[in-house]
Amino acid sequence: IIIGMTCIFIFLLTIVASFIQRVSGFGFGIFVMMFFPFFLPSYGESVMLSGLLAGSTALMIAIKNRKYIRWKMMWIVTFFNVLFSFIATEYMRSLSNDVLKQCLGVVLILIALYFLFGEGRMGRIFKSKPAQVTIGSVSGVMGGMFAMPGPPLVLYCISTLEDKREYVTTLQAFSVVFNLFYTIFRFKAGFYSDDTWLWWEIGLGGAVIGSSLGARCFDVISNRMLKRIVYVMMIVSGIVAIL
């Protein structure tokens, strides 16, 4: 019964998360990590499953819209992201689940507050090469420890790309590459069980449904309103995780 309920939760959460990802370009990990650590066996397994499903969702979107990917702007950020995600993943092995959940809570709240009140005000800072190194490093730590590499990348892509299809699809390309490496690092660290692969297969069905619905709403729904709802949920979830 417990495994069955877990499968249902994963399926439903993946539908919502992939919808958010398709509409806004990011947010899969932010959404599911509000829930996964509280009903999956371990924090490490939650991060592993989140990355697998986020990468799979991004791959679906990126393949369909591949002509909009801007590969040239990805290399510096990708190198430092992968490097620091490996360091963060190794560091995770020394921390308890409770400590990681509390860290996750703090990160959720800080990200939500920044995007609620500061989004769009610092875009020009992120165009230089030193800034790309910083963005890659910070997103690598966030991706490795919390399955949330997206927020720094959003700032980078918003400041660099004006076309919203280039913005969304390039973010998906980042996600595909990053999560490929994250999965290797997490597999090496042992952040999985036999059930992980079953949950991933179930989540794929939800990803297909959610991304299809998101594609239909992409030109209609207000990204700003959707993001604000997600950010408020992040704050509530962050407080719960800390307490």
**What's the confidence (pLDDT) of residue 240?**
65
Q: How many CA atoms lie within 13 A of 188 on its CB side?
A: 13
Most confident listed range (17-31, 64-78, 219-233) = 64-78
**What's the confidence (pLDDT) of residue 172?**
92
Asked if pLDDT for residue 123 goes beyond 60, the answer is no
| Structure confidence by residue, pLDDT tens digits, 91-114 | 888 877 778 778 877 887 887 777
Most confident listed range (105-109, 142-146, 170-174, 231-235) = 170-174
Is the full-model pTM beyond 0.75?
Answer: yes
| Structure confidence by residue, pLDDT tens digits, 147-178 | 888 777 877 887 788 787 888 899 999 999 99
136-157 mean pLDDT: 84
The overall average pLDDT reported for the chain is 84
